[in-house]
């Protein structure tokens, strides 16, 4: 079976990671826009970052047989910097692009009024551009932050079926379950969730509208945590179709609502972009039953 | 300096295809493109339509065009070029150039390729060269092919830039069948660079792209000047073997020298 990591920051990872991910079965990713660890100070660096997500990083991934999508947004942390609110004016341009499958990461970091304003504005943009939304929930005051997040989503009038609430845990997942929003778990080496706890929670909640991601970035993280969680689910007694649902069909269904997925299929045009004529609503589904494809040849010789 | 370009008019199928979208688009997408072309006087309308063209029209190879080893025109290339031709009707050269730069600078690879393709048919003079040169600096073979391979490059790139572009095609595996400037603009200097590149590969015991012979067969003196025959006698086994493979790929019938 193949894996789709619905939240991973590949810009911060190496080509070794891409090789290991491909070898382990990961064929598609979504990279949401987030903060870089170091605060940005100008619009220009945001534009370059967004251009990199739809340009260089997509190309780099394709060299390793992985289809790279992205989500574009002003992230919650930097939403607190009033100098950066003009970034919101940049977004509509990017939200029309192929391969931009969601608005994200949006949401709360410290539950400030600025964060809430930027969050609500971006929910409206998602509706305007007919895109789903990837919502980050805060590290601190998580339960209150998750409840507040759901209130803002409800108030916005956006279809909850287009909203993914991420970084959930034992306390916050039950709050989201039943709201119509999708649930996601970020599996980390130390913090957030680990693979066994995630498997246990999915056993309680079911596999419907549930996604698992590695959220790997420049911090201590592991781009193979989706694979490890699938193994934990297998040990916990989940069936293969259930596992495939969580790691392939659910992310395809969620991001497929954008009509902008670029998943390769046997009929694609050789450039990693399927011909819409051979797909449904711009999306094609790379079935787990598909025969193993050859490992891509040595990547084109890159000049630095 | 630009060498005599010879027959550098865009190959008729591209212009014909652009004029007759009904031949490569179903009715619905053709109507959508026609509407976009009618509204192409408005810059916001162009900016909104341009990224959507792939998902609206398709991304497969353009029918009736030379396949060019997988690097030929695609349906979305043709749709974007047609939209930009429509946009050029109501714009002077300054505002058309500004529009192309905006689309290219903030476009993804497919959008950038669409701008580069459009240069072949827009008649923009030198104003498109900065975009072309940007694409030639990238590592994306599809962008390099669209930039180096088009009629615009064949017409407008000076010899030194063109030689670098063609060498880059050889280097990253873009087939020279996709390069309109070949064979018309092969120069002794391009042949020297190609032969030196071949020598470097052979000295490393590596294969030389067979397409190198497309150039070298027309300038056989360059092969000798680069010291390639001597590699057949190299004391290093891997070099001798690489030299033998290189010469074995030499075409048996030499093309006429242009």
Q: Tell me the per-residue pLDDT of B117-139, one tens digit each, with 9 for 90 and over.
A: 999 999 899 999 999 999 999 98
Alpha-carbon span B90 to A84, nearest angstrom: 36
Checking if the pLDDT of B15 tops 70, the result is yes
Pairing of strands A163-165, A182-186: parallel
Nearest chain B residue (CA) to A62: B140
A97: pLDDT strictly greater than 90: yes
Closest to A145 in 3D by CA, of A117, A118, A172 = A172
Q: Name which of B48, B58, B108 is nearest A55 (Cβ-Cβ).
A: B108
More confident residue, A154 or A267: A154
Residue of A55, A259, A270 with shortest CB distance to B109? A55
Which pLDDT tens digit goes with each residue over A168-210?
999 999 999 999 999 999 999 877 789 999 999 999 999 999 9
pLDDT tier, A289 (very low <50, low <70, confident <90, very high otherwise): very low
Confidence of residue B232 (pLDDT cuts 50, 70, 90): very high
Residue B141 in contact with partner chain A when CB distance is under 8 A: yes
CB A19 within 8 A of CB A43: no
Cβ distance of B108 and A277 shorter than 8 Å = no
Helices (H), B64-127: 75-88, 93-105, 109-122
Q: Write the pLDDT tens digit of every residue in B237-254.
A: 999 999 999 999 999 876
* Residue B206 at interface with chain A, using a CB cutoff of 8 Å: no
pLDDT at B23: 92
Report DSSP state, residue B116.
Answer: H
Compute the average pLDDT of residues B64-92.
91
- Residue B48 sits at the chain A interface (C-beta within 8 Å): yes
Q: Which two tokens stand for residue B69?
A: 């080893």
- Give yes or no for a cis peptide into A105 (omega within 30° of 0): yes
Residue B62 carries which DSSP code? P
φ and ψ at residue A7, rounded to 5 degrees: -160, 100
Q: Is B243 helix (H, G, I), strand (E, B) or coil?
A: helix
Residue A204: CB atoms within 10 Å? 10
Average pLDDT over chain B, rounded to whole? 92
Q: Chain A within 8 Å of B80 (Cβ-Cβ)?
A: no
Token output for B31: 């109507």
Closest-CA residue of chain B to A274: B59
Residues in chain A within 8 Å Cβ distance of B173 = 300
Residues of A in contact with B52 (CB under 8 A): 96, 98
CB–CB contact B55 A270 (8 Å): no
Interface test with A, best of B44, B115, B139, B206 (most A CBs within 10 A): B139
Distance from CA of B122 to the nearest CA of A (A): 24
At B10 the pLDDT is 54
Residue A219: pLDDT band (50, 70, 90) is: very high
Q: Which of A135-139, A256-260, B8-12 has the lowest mean pLDDT?
A: B8-12
Q: Do B55 and A51 touch (CB under 8 A)?
A: no
Residue from A53, A275, A301 to probe the interface with B (highest B Cβ count within 10 Å): A275
3 state DSSP class of B51:
helix
Chain A residue numbers with beta carbons less than 8 Å from the beta carbon of B48 are 96
Convert the pLDDT of each residue in A4-19 to its tens digit: 999 999 999 999 999 9
pLDDT, mean of residues A275-291: 34
Q: What's the average model confidence in pLDDT over B49-67? A: 89
pLDDT at A269 over 50: no
- Selecting from B52, B56, B108 the residue whose C-beta is nearest the C-beta of A99 gives B108
Q: Which residue of B has its CA nearest to A277?
A: B58
B110 has a chain A CB within 8 A of its CB: yes
Q: Count of A–B CB contacts within 8 Å? A: 59
Chosen from B53, B106, B143, B204 to mutate, greatest number of chain A CBs within 10 A: B106
Bridge pairing between strands A133-136 and A163-165: parallel
Q: Please determine, for residue A154, whether its predicted confidence score (pLDDT) is greater than 70.
A: yes
| Sheet with A210-213: strands ordered across | A3-5, A26-32, A67-72, A100-107, A133-136, A163-165, A182-186, A210-213
Chain A residues with beta carbon closer than 8 angstroms to that of B70: 270
Q: Is B67 on the interface with A (CB under 8 A)?
A: no
Q: Give the pLDDT score at B255.
A: 62
pLDDT given at position B25: 96
Q: Do A269 and B74 touch (CB under 8 A)?
A: yes
ipTM field: 0.78
- Residue contact A271–B142, C-beta within 8 A: yes
Which residue in A142, A231, A238 sits closest to A195, CA to CA?
A231
Report the residue of A48, A268, A276 to disrupt the B interface, i.e. the one with the largest count of B CBs within 10 Å. A276
B27 vs A: CB within 8 A:
no
Q: Above 80 in pLDDT, residue B9? A: no
pLDDT of res. B4: 57
| Cα-based distances in Å from B257 to B36, B217, B253 | 47, 9, 12
Q: Is the pLDDT of residue A87 over 60?
A: yes
Burial readout B168-200 (b: 16 or more C-beta within 10 A, e: otherwise): bbbebbbbbbbbbbbbebbbeebbbbbbbbbbe
Contact A300 B141 (CB under 8 A): yes
Query: CB–CB of B139 and A275 under 8 A?
Result: no
Nearest by CB to B139, from A58, A274, A302: name it: A302
pLDDT of A288 above 60: no
pLDDT at site B73: 94
Q: Please name the residues in contact with A278: beta carbons below 8 A apart, sequence gap of 6 or more.
A: A265, A267, A268, A284
Q: What is the mean pLDDT of residues A30-48?
A: 93
Cα gap B128→B81, rounded to integer Å: 14
Residue A262 CB: number of other CB atoms within 10 A? 26
Chain B residues with CB-CB distance to A31 below 8 A: none
- Chain B residues closer than 8 Å to A58 by CB: 108-109
- Inter-chain residue contact A282 with B141, CB threshold 8 Å: no
> pLDDT > 70: what percent of chain A?
87
Instruction: Tell me which chain B residues have a C-beta less than 8 angstroms from the C-beta of A282.
Output: 55
Spell out which residues of chain B touch residue A276, defining contact as CB-CB under 8 Å: 54-59
Measured in degrees and rounded to the nearest 5, phi and psi for residue B211 equal -65, -15
Task: Kindly report the three-state secondary structure assignment for every residue of chain A.
Answer: CCEEECCCCHHHCCHHHHHHHHHHCEEEEEEECCCCCCCCCCHHHHHHHHHHHHCHHHHHHHCCCCEEEEEECCCCCHHHCHHHCCHHHHHHHHCCCCCEEEEEEEECCCCCHHHHHHHHHHHHHHHHCCCCEEEECCCCCHHHHHHHHHHHHHHHCCCHHHEEECCCCCCCHHHHCCCCCEEEEEECCCCEECHHHHHHHHHHHCCCCEEEECCCCCCCCCCCHHHHHHHHHHHCCCCHHHHHHHHHHHHHHHHHCCCCCCCCCCCCCCCCCCCHHHCECCECCCCCCCCCCCCCCCCCCCCC
Residue A303 pLDDT greater than 80, yes or no: no
Task: Determine the distance in angstroms separating the CA of B7 from the nearest CA of chain A, rounded to an integer.
Answer: 30
């Amino acid at each position: 079976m193949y894996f789709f990591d619905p939240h991973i920051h590949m810009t911060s990872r190496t080509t070794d990671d891409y090789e290991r991910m491909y070898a382990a079965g990961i064929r598609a990713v979504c990279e949401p826009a987030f903060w870089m660890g170091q605060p940005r100070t100008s619009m220009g660096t945001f534009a370059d970052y967004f251009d990199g997500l739809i340009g260089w990083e997509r190309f780099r991934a394709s060299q390793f047989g992985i289809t790279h999508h992205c989500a574009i947004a002003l992230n919650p942390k930097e939403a607190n910097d009033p100098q950066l609110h003009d970034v919101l004016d940049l977004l509509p341009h990017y939200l029309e692009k192929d391969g931009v499958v969601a608005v994200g990461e949006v949401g709360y970091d410290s539950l400030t009024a600025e964060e809430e304003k930027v969050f609500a504005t971006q929910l409206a943009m998602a509706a305007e551009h007919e895109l789903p939304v990837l919502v980050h929930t805060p590290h601190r005051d998580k339960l209150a932050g998750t409840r507040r997040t759901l209130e803002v989503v409800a108030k916005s009038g956006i279809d909850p079926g287009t909203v993914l609430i991420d970084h959930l845990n034992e306390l916050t997942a039950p709050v989201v379950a039943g709201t119509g929003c999708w649930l996601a778990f970020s599996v980390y080496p130390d913090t957030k969730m680990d693979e066994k706890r995630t498997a246990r929670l999915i056993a309680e909640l079911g596999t419907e509208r549930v996604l698992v991601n590695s959220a790997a970035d420049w911090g201590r993280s592991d781009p193979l945590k989706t694979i490890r969680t699938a193994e934990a689910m297998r040990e916990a007694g989940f069936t293969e179709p259930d596992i495939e649902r969580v790691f392939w069909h659910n992310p395809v269904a969620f991001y497929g609502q954008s009509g902008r997925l670029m998943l390769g299929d046997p009929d694609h045009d050789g450039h990693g972009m399927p011909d819409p004529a051979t797909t449904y609503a711009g999306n094609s589904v790379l079935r787990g039953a598909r025969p193993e494809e050859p490992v891509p040849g040595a990547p084109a010789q890159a000049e630095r | 300096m630009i060498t005599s370009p010879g027959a550098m008019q865009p190959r008729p199928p591209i212009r014909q295809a652009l004029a007759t979208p009904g031949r490569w688009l179903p009715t619905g997408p053709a109507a959508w493109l026609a509407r976009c072309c009618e509204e192409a006087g408005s810059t916001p309308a162009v900016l909104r339509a341009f990224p959507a063209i792939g998902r609206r029209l398709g991304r497969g190879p353009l029918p009736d065009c030379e396949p060019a080893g997988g690097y030929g025109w695609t349906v979305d290339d043709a749709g974007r070029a047609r939209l930009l031709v429509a946009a050029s009707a109501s714009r002077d050269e300054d505002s058309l150039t500004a529009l192309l730069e905006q689309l290219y600078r903030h476009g993804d690879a497919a959008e950038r390729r669409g701008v580069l393709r459009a240069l072949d048919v827009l008649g923009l003079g030198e104003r498109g060269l900065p975009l072309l040169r940007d694409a030639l600096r990238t590592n994306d073979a599809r962008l390099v092919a669209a930039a180096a391979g088009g009629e615009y490059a064949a017409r407008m790139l000076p010899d030194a830039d063109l030689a670098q572009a063609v060498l880059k095609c050889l280097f990253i595996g873009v087939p020279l069948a996709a390069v309109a400037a070949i064979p018309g603009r092969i120069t002794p200097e391009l042949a020297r660079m190609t032969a030196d590149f071949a020598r470097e590969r052979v000295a490393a015991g590596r294969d030389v792209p067979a397409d190198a012979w497309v150039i070298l067969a027309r300038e056989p003196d360059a092969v000798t000047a680069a010291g390639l025959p001597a590699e057949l006698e190299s004391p290093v086994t891997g070099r001798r073997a690489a030299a033998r493979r290189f010469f074995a790929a030499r075409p048996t019938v030499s093309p006429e020298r242009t």
